[in-house]
Amino acid sequence: MSTSKDNRIFIIGAGFAGKTIAHEIISNNAAGEVAAFIDDDIEKIGTSIDDIPILGPIASCAGLLSNPQNAEALIAIPRASTEKLKEIYDILRKAEFKRIRIVPAISQIISGDAHFIQTRDIDPQDLLGRTPVSIDLKESLSYLRGKRVLITGAGGSIGSELCRQLLSGGAERLYLFGHGENSIYKIDKELRKLQAGGVGDKATIVPIIGELQDRDYMFFILKRLKADVIFHCAAYKHVPMMEYNPIEAIKNNIFGTKNVVDAAIDSEVERFVLISTDKAVKPSCVYGASKKIAESIVLNSKNPSGDFMVVRFGNVLGSRGSIVPLFKEQILSGGPVTLTHPETSRFFMTIPEAATLVLRAGGVGIGGNLYILDMGEPLKILEIARQMIRFYGFGEKDIPISFIGMRPGEKIHETLWTKEENPVQTEFSKIMNLGRKSCFSNEELEEFLSELSWICFPKGDNNELFRNRIELRKSINRYIPTVEVPSNEPKY
């Protein structure tokens, strides 16, 4: 078996990112030997950089490998479109490289140095959907310089990516808040490793294990932390799971949000950004309803000292519980790949792009407004399944696709806003403003939350209501009629 120093690394792209990573590999002398650059630029082909030859074009790289089993490919073309990455990946796979890596987080590379430690194995999400928007991350994060930033749900898909990108923001402190010790441990360890590898500024990283539903604790901890900016990502998100556990969805996503919002106001937080979802639009499930109410809690909040806003977007590729890791598992185990309906579609963007736009919106947004990320055109889930089957080197005859029917609370199609709403394009690419669009008045919201609290929390004389799922759904249905009460809903 070859050691890392026996690895021959072929860097695809002889531009700034490729040269920077090559220099880092040579300096560290640990990852392997940079054998060559491979590029399509005819003016570069045949020349060299630091005695490393530049070969090409990329389409001919299969003929360059005498022993592909000790060769790795590292794609370092941060401006490459999704279509170009697909083309390059197909070429590299046919060339039988033992490993194909990529420099992710395009915005980070455009605005700063590329680092070898940021590279990772290429993933289907890199080749699906549209080409991510390119934003100068350092410029977008200038409002966070010298600030204390708290991310709830920091171990989740969006929360952890926000943390990675915030390393470049010049924040004084990053508070990683979550109730899962393993996920917070993991992102804390990763961020410290990235910092050691030269990524970002030297923010102090502080992991915090805590529970949003503990109101007294939230007031206590925010007073002590003195956070300037909060990105509220924490939520229970799995639609079928929340249909089975609706009380917990309401407690966490609604009352947890209210606790952190009220505590943030009490602690005079400057900026608060709630991460919301397209499932809050005419919701058919408890999860969607919980996020719709959470939006109103933020939009209705009265905070004279800061800007509290909502950023809403659709699915992100590769998030935990999403179709990408599920399909991967099904494909690698021989199938079948299971879909709910042949026409099902969803809006998708990559996790890094969503995080970049959230950070951008958090800096330019005005309090009391709801912002929507432009997700482009929705993608058919069936086509994603087919593309992923091809990504892993199979044909559709090798991996069957089966349709299992719609699950509770799911829709065939999602929308980012209703027909009655009229989002306005802001001056910032891919960010639209829906304005002050709380669906409840202050009085309605207060009444609704009071009803829900009698069901979610013990009060001594509410034995018939406490944790009564039927009464919960009836209450939600009175205020949000699109969420129905199933005929087979159990009482508890």
CATH number of the domain where residue 47 is located: 3.40.50.720
Clarify whether residues 173 and 117 are in a common domain: no
Predicted confidence at residue 7, as pLDDT, reads: 83
User: Does any domain span residue 94?
Assistant: yes
Clarify whether residues 287 and 248 are in a common domain: yes
Is the C-alpha dihedral spanning 8, 13, 19, 20 positive or negative?
A: negative
Domain housing 10:
4-122
Condensed to tens digits (0 to 9), the pLDDT of residues 282-304 reads 999 999 999 999 999 999 998 87
User: Does any domain span residue 172?
Assistant: yes
Domain boundary among 77, 98, 122: 122
Q: Higher-confidence residue: 270 or 116?
A: 270
User: Does any domain span residue 128?
Assistant: no
Distances (CA, A) of 79 to 75, 88, 106, 115: 11, 13, 7, 16
Clarify whether residues 249 and 311 are in a common domain: yes
For the chain, what is the domain count? 3
Taking the C-alpha atoms of residue 24 and residue 19, their distance in angstroms, rounded to an integer, is: 9
pLDDT at 105 over 70: no
Clarify whether residues 207 and 61 are in a common domain: no
Predicted confidence at residue 2, as pLDDT, reads: 46
pLDDT at 479 over 50: yes
Clarify whether residues 233 and 307 are in a common domain: yes
Domain boundary among 87, 122, 157: 122
Q: What's the alpha-carbon Rg for the chain, to the nearest Å? A: 24
User: Does any domain span residue 108?
Assistant: yes
Predicted confidence at residue 4, as pLDDT, reads: 56
Clarify whether residues 231 and 112 are in a common domain: no
Clarify whether residues 470 and 356 are in a common domain: no
Condensed to tens digits (0 to 9), the pLDDT of residues 382-412 reads 999 999 999 998 987 899 999 999 887 788 8
Distances (CA, A) of 153 to 221, 243, 253, 397: 15, 21, 12, 40
Clarify whether residues 91 and 149 are in a common domain: no
Clarify whether residues 427 and 449 are in a common domain: no
Domain boundary among 97, 122, 147: 122
* Residues carrying an active site annotation: 279
Predicted confidence at residue 131, as pLDDT, reads: 74
Taking the C-alpha atoms of residue 403 and residue 152, their distance in angstroms, rounded to an integer, is: 36
Clarify whether residues 295 and 371 are in a common domain: yes
Query: ω into residue 336 within 30 of 0, thus cis?
Result: yes
